[in-house]
Structure 1
Amino acid sequence: MDSQVLILFIVLAAVLVGLVSLFFVRAGRARGLEDYPETRDADDPAPGDSADSASGTADSGGSADSGGSVALAEEERTAAAPDKAAEGAEDSATAVETPEPVAGRLARLRARLVKSNNVFGRSLLALLASDDIDEDVWEEIEETLLTADLGTEPTMELVDRLRERVKVEGSTDPDRVRAMLHEELTALIDPAWDRSLNVEAAGRPAVVMVVGVNGVGKTTTVGKLARVLVAEDKDVVLGAADTFRAAAAEQLATWGSRVGVPTVKSDVEGADPASVAYDAVDAGIEHEVDVVMVDTAGRLQNKANLMDELGKVKRVIEKRSEVDEVLLVLDATTGQNGLNQAKVFSEVVNVTGIVLTKLDGTARGGIVVAIQRQLGVPVKLVGLGEGPDDLAPFDVESFVDALLEDR
């Protein structure tokens, strides 16, 4: 009898446990799957990652030298996780921005330069329109030009030309004086220079390296330039070869994702930048894009080891493809100090063009002339502000018009 009671007790306990378990399972389902964290083995790839991308194989652009997997954004994630891609397709489409056309940027360039440089222009015009331009006036003109970072040699050249023209023509009419100054400044900046970006290459992507010292805004410039190229219907891949600054790669990837541009990056901070740059070019060739842009870490121009490493990045890229453009980013507010930076970088990586940032915040527009004279390469792009589309091709006529705007 006792054994029968024991058996009955066990059966009732089992039934009770089953009912309680069923209650909690149903309650858990009612709360939703998001309340239960997903579990997986540490070696399993994350959702949306293929086995290849997790292991950093060559097919996904990975490299043993880069110290971790290198991800080519969007395309490979879409291929590895079609269900997620389908579910998020509508959200992705709405997230991608349409960059502003280049023409609109040029109009904004003039407006902003007028605001920051009109004191410079008014000062020169007032001096040159004096009834009696004596030696003191010419000295004031020289001082104004030097203050604008035109540089000693270009300043003396411009003053000599103006002296001769004023002497020959004998005119102090404001409109005529403005015309003379416009012509001479335009000649100094040299409108005949080819300022187009070398982003056309036959049978392969054009490769653009972006270099410069710390803090001038290289990563931001790469992101803004990607928008310029997308606005011109170019297919672009970004290479995050600044592997030493915390979150630099993520910052670049964010810039790219806003306009649907993929980014090749390492998942290991401090990875070999040359390897990441190589992988980016390799991915660009594989995916047949138009342009690969490589962001590099900031360098102190007086640190030989850092500059040597920058040279290495370029040499490693050239094992896979020619480098078509090396853009040096300079801060316009640094004035003559920027010339020293420019010279050292040019010696290491053969700079082909200048990107001048923060030009809207300074009245020292003459730095354009000084830099071009120092390097023998043109200013190709100018940064106008903090907005995502505040980067524009440099246009000589618009620039000089803005310098001499008298309103």
Structure 2
Amino acid sequence: MIQEYNPSIEYTLGKANVIANALSRKAYCNSLILKPFQPELCEAFRKLNLQIVPQGFLANLIVSPTLEDQIREGQLLDTMVKKVKRGIDKGISKYKYYRVDDRDTLFFEDRIVVPKGDLRKLIMNEAHNSLLSIHPGSTKMYLDLKQSYWWTRMKREIAQFVNECDVCRRVKAEHQRPAGLLQPLAIPEWKFDHIEMDFVTGFPKSKRGNDAIFVVIDKLTKVAHFLPYAEFSYNNSFQASSGKAPFEILYGRKCRTPLNWSETGERQLLGNDLISEAEEMCKVIRENLKAAQSRQKSYYDSKHRDLAFEIGDHVYLRVSPMKGTRRFGIKGKLAPRYVGPFKIIGKRGDLAYQLELPPNFANVHDVFHVSQLRKCFKTPERTINFEEIDLQEDLSYHEHPIAILEETERKTRNKSIKFLKVKWSHHSD
């Protein structure tokens, strides 16, 4: 645009140019005048007979080729590009979507063809890790890059590049179904072959100072033993998994209550008939429990996905950030959701894995459910500093404020409210 005018350039003294714009002065040049030089440096300059010019600065400018020039130079050495160019010259139909411009640069439709090598990684790194990008997902990154660049298996390579990003794997939330399918327990063959024990805690203290209930349940009949009246009500109630009340399964008849006193009477079966009836009832109960387990597993697995690892794989471990002061119960979105990666050194059952944890995680149990793990697609090439996070036994860590970054004050009609921007631990600048 400036070529349409005939400008004249006139020199103006700096002190006389009171309306100088921002580009006419270099702030770091003027700062040289204000900063005192070190005595040792001044003495060295004096011995070398050098003169300090505070108003000037020295710059070393290196002109580097643009990305398009680098791609053009890379195409000259790529065998696939040479093959396509020869096919274009011969008029082969499968190369009809390719073209070569006047600078001998190969394009696929309107997109420049990127040859194999470091140029592809450079482009993906600029679109994913640079300051002007926000670690986009593979789909968004592909849709942005496909407007200007093209290479074979481009979408697959971008997806692999994003999967190997350490920052994305540790910070981004997982938008998938929880890992781990349901593993039903084996159904026992007879009554009280297997029992389950549990403590129900959190109750107000009784007169004797007790605040918990010890519960024992038979896995086949579902008979439970705990508080007397609650136990009677539970054992005399219909159970959907077995199809009968636990009391009836255990004793072979319904329990007498004021509601069904006339429906029950003295037992008429004795000896072998009684044993045969009990065996038949246990057989029916086992079939009912198998059907119930199958129904429960089908419902559970529909909302979960199967995930398995091998010994030697590296995985990230899910953690929960906890701030000392939480506003509206919201966690920091930039806080790490995963730490690691860690190496898998053992497998415990079908859904649990043992990890090789660093020494400062000694208070954490090293066996974790598969739902707490996220796969690391790239073997770590560097040693990761785990001293930054003090992980607790429940896989949580506390965040605390480090510094106040900014302070503002907003005024309303009757008062002013002060807002502080706080930097929390485990967050990047």
TM-score (norm 1): 0.25
Q: Which has the larger radius of gyration?
A: 2
Structure with the higher strand share, 1 or 2: 2
Structure with the higher helix share, 1 or 2: 1
Structure with more relative contact order (C-alpha pairs < 8 Å, separation 6 or more): 1
